[in-house]
C-alpha cells in the first residue's frame, strides 16, 4: 500500500543501475579533497579551487563533541575573513551554486518510493488508507529537505548496518543519517554565502568612499576660506 501511494504521487522506483551510478558519482564528488584542505566540512569539486579560496574556507579550529557514550565527532569553528579579495568572488560564487545543486531537495515520488521500499523489508500490519497517507506526509515532512542521493545512501546504510538492519527505521533515524551526509555541502554553501555577503558589503563601501572623501575636502576648503575672510 505504501509503495502504491508513492507511485500515485508521480512515478515508481527509478532504475536501480542508474541510482547506483548517480550515487557513486555524488559520493566521489563529495568525498574527495580540495587542494590541501583535508576537511569534512568542504566537499570536493570537479575542478581545482584557488589556494586563496581554500584559505578563506578553512576552519579556525576544531572542538571535540562528546555524547553519552564519549567522543562523537569534531565540530569545526569557522568565521569569515575580515576581507575577501575581489579576484576570489567568481570562485566563491561558483562554489555556492555547486553546493546548492548538491543539496537540492528530492522530488516527492522518488523519495517516498525509496523509503517505502526499505520499510517493505519489515513485516507490518495493514493500516487504513488514511493512516498510510498521513504516514507518507510525515516522511515527506522529515526528509523532504534532503537530496535524493542522501536519502538513497541513508537507506543503504540502514540496510547494511550490522545491528540496525534488524529494526524498522523511524523518520528520525533516516533524518539523522541524511543530516550527516549533507553536512559538508551545507557548510560549504553557508560559508561561501557569508564570504560573498562580506565581499558585497566591501564593494559598496569602496564605491561610497571617493564621494565621501570629496565631500570632506570641499567642506575643509570652505572652512579655511571662511577663516581667512577679512571682515569689512
Residue with grid cell 572542538, as numbered in its chain: 63
Question: Residue 71 pairs with which residues in a beta bridge?
Answer: 66
* C-alpha–C-alpha distance, residues 66 and 72, integer Å: 5
At 112 the pLDDT is 96
What pLDDT is recorded for position 201?
A: 85
Name the CA radius of gyration of the chain, rounded.
26
What is the distance between the alpha carbons of residues 152 and 19, in angstroms, rounded to a whole number?
Answer: 8
DSSP run (H or E) holding 32: none
**Residuewise pLDDT in 10s, the chain (232 residues):** 545 545 554 444 444 545 555 444 444 443 333 333 333 434 455 556 788 898 899 888 888 888 888 888 788 889 888 899 999 999 999 999 999 999 999 999 999 999 999 999 998 889 999 999 999 999 999 999 999 999 999 999 999 999 999 999 999 999 999 999 999 889 999 999 999 999 988 777 654 455 555 666 667 666 666 665 545 4
- The reported pLDDT for the residue numbered 11 is 44
First to last CA, the chain: 101
Q: What local confidence, expressed as pLDDT, does residue 225 receive?
A: 66
Check: CB of residue 95 under 8 Å from CB of residue 49.
yes
Query: Is the pTM here over 0.95, yes or no?
Result: no
- Give the C-alpha separation, 192 to 56, whole Å: 9
Q: Where are the domains of the chain?
A: 2-228
In this predicted structure, what is the pLDDT of residue 213? Answer: 59
Query: How far apart (Å, rounded) are the C-alpha atoms in residues 156 and 187?
Result: 24
Query: Which residue spans within 116-219 are E strands per DSSP?
Result: none
**Contacts of residue 16, Cβ cutoff 8 Å, sequence gap at least 6:** none
Contacts of 88 (CB under 8 A, 6+ apart): 50, 52, 53, 56, 195, 199
Under 8 Å CB-to-CB from 2, ≥6 apart: which residues?
112, 116, 119, 120, 132, 135, 136
CB 196 within 8 A of CB 96: yes
pLDDT at residue number 162: 94
Amino acid at each position: 500500500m505504501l509503495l502504491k501511494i508513492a507511485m500515485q504521487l508521480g512515478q515508481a522506483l527509478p532504475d536501480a543501475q542508474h541510482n547506483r551510478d548517480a550515487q557513486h558519482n555524488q559520493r566521489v564528488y563529495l568525498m574527495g579533497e580540495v587542494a590541501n584542505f583535508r576537511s569534512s566540512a568542504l566537499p570536493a569539486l570537479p575542478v581545482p579551487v584557488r589556494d586563496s579560496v581554500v584559505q578563506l574556507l578553512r576552519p579556525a579550529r576544531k572542538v571535540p563533541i562528546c555524547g553519552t557514550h564519549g567522543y562523537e565527532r569534531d565540530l569545526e569553528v569557522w568565521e569569515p575573513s575580515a576581507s575577501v579579495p575581489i579576484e576570489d568572488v567568481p570562485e566563491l560564487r561558483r562554489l555556492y551554486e555547486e553546493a546548492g545543486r548538491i543539496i537540492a531537495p528530492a522530488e516527492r515520488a522518488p523519495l517516498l518510493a525509496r523509503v517505502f521500499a526499505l520499510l517493505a523489508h519489515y513485516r507490518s500490519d495493514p493500516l487504513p488508507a488514511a493512516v498510510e497517507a498521513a504516514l507518507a506526509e510525515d516522511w515527506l515532512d522529515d526528509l523532504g529537505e534532503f537530496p535524493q542521493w542522501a536519502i538513497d545512501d541513508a537507506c543503504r546504510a540502514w540496510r547494511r548496518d550490522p545491528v540496525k538492519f534488524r529494526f524498522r527505521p523511524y523518520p528520525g533515524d533516516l533524518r539523522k543519517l541524511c543530516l550527516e551526509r549533507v553536512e559538508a555541502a551545507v557548510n560549504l554553501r553557508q560559508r561561501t554565502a557569508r564570504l560573498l555577503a562580506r565581499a558585497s558589503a566591501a564593494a559598496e563601501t569602496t564605491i561610497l568612499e571617493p564621494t565621501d572623501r570629496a565631500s570632506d575636502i570641499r567642506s575643509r576648503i570652505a572652512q579655511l576660506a571662511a577663516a581667512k575672510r577679512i571682515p569689512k
